Amino acid sequence: MGFIIGMDEAGYGPNLGPLVITVSLWKVPGDPREFDFWQALQSFVSQTKPAKNSELLHVADSKEVHSSSAGLAPLEKSIFPFLQLLSGEERITSLDGLWRLLVDSATHLDEIQNQPWNHNSDFSVPTSVDLETIQQSHQNLKQAFDAAGIELQAFCSEIVLPERFNRCCREYGSKGVLLTRLCMHLLTRVWDRESAEPTLIIGDKHGGRNRYDEYLDEILDGEMIFRVEESTAKSVYKIGNTEVRFQTKAEAHFPVAVSSMVCKYTREVMMELFNQFWLQHVPDLKPTKGYPVDARRFKSEIADAQERLEISDQILWRGQ
């Protein structure tokens, strides 16, 4: 047996809303570097968009699964069966339940719940797919995993709100370093460096960064890091029984794609709550996804309400 950790993020570029980073931990048969999820699960998952009435789950880069025109339904259909694998008999029916599954820090959970727009933590999820459909997909997925010898062991997320984002950017000097350090912190929650079983860690490249060894060193206890490759295509390191890869188009790997979809869904549903809050105070307000040009439009239109509600830029606006 071996382990694979897939890692991705959503919301790195916007000025509004959270940055979400997620790692997923999988136990697989044999050498994790050789294991092919797509082949093992071909009867149940598809990298391309399935036909309308297909029971196949669409698993791919979240930007391919999600579209504004289709709403949250495609993401919910694909990702909730995976979430259900971890939540067991307790179905996730609220945004608060999703946060509790993903976030292991009580401090950060309190920070999320205390945002003015997150007070409605009972916001119901899924929003567009019925629970019976999800339950059937969950059962089918569990059977497929059992047959293939796959075990999903964890999802862990960093949900980084604007105040913390800005504070860490100041502390670390750039949002690029913030992303890399938060990714490394997440790895410590799921990576068992003492395991005798081989482990493969895969994540997307962080912008133009080619060197990651100094950041890996920050979370290790003096273990030797061997550079295998550092290039624009990928950076590969060996640490004991673990191989770490940061590469372009990492979402081609199943565990990264699933992490990508968890990130995207979490951010999208939180932005839904965010937009609902402001629409209560600014009638006819056009919702935003939080990306720079539209974020400035949105901020201008809520300015009077923001002042009236005494909501500071500190908790609203990501400055970098």
Confidence class for position 90, pLDDT limits 50, 70, 90: confident
**Sequential DSSP letters for the chain:** -EEEEEEEEE-SS-SSS-EEEEEEEEEESS-TTT--HHHHTTTTEESSPPPTT---EE-S-HHHH-BTTTBTHHHHHHHHHHHHHHHTTS---BHHHHHHHH---HHHHHHHHTSGGGS-TT-BS-SSS-HHHHHHHHHHHHHHHHHHT-EEEEEEEEEE-HHHHHHHHHHHSSHHHHHHHHHHHHHHHH--TT-SS-EEEEEE--TT----HHHHHHHSSS---EEEEESSSEEEEEETTEEEEEETTGGGSHHHHHHHHHHHHHHHHHHHHHHHHHHHHSTTPPP----HHHHHHHHHHTHHHHHHTT--HHHH----
**Token pair in block for residue 114:** 């205390």
Q: Is the peptide bond before 287 cis (omega within 30 degrees of 0)?
A: no
pLDDT over threshold 80, residue 320: no
The reported pLDDT for the residue numbered 271 is 97
- Tell me the fold of 2-269: Nucleotidyltransferase; domain 5 (3.30.420)
Phi, psi for 120 (deg, rounded to 5)? -85, 65
The reported pLDDT for the residue numbered 319 is 87
Residue recorded with tokens 């003096």: 222
pLDDT over threshold 90, residue 249: yes
Confidence class for position 53, pLDDT limits 50, 70, 90: confident
Residue type at 257 in one-letter notation: A
Model confidence pLDDT, tens digit, residues 301-314: 999 999 999 999 99
pLDDT over threshold 90, residue 149: yes
The reported pLDDT for the residue numbered 290 is 98
Confidence class for position 114, pLDDT limits 50, 70, 90: very high
Residue recorded with tokens 């082949």: 39
* % of the chain surpassing 70 pLDDT: 99
Confidence class for position 147, pLDDT limits 50, 70, 90: very high
Confidence class for position 52, pLDDT limits 50, 70, 90: confident
pLDDT over threshold 80, residue 209: yes
**Token pair in block for residue 233:** 């295509």
The reported pLDDT for the residue numbered 104 is 87
Phi, psi for 23 (deg, rounded to 5)? -115, 145
Model confidence pLDDT, tens digit, residues 257-300: 999 999 999 999 999 999 999 999 999 999 999 999 999 999 99
The reported pLDDT for the residue numbered 197 is 96
The domain limits of the chain are 2-269
pLDDT over threshold 80, residue 120: no
The reported pLDDT for the residue numbered 235 is 98
CA nearest neighbour of 61 among 71, 47, 72, 51: 47
pLDDT over threshold 80, residue 125: yes
The reported pLDDT for the residue numbered 89 is 74
Q: What is the CA radius of gyration of the chain?
A: 20
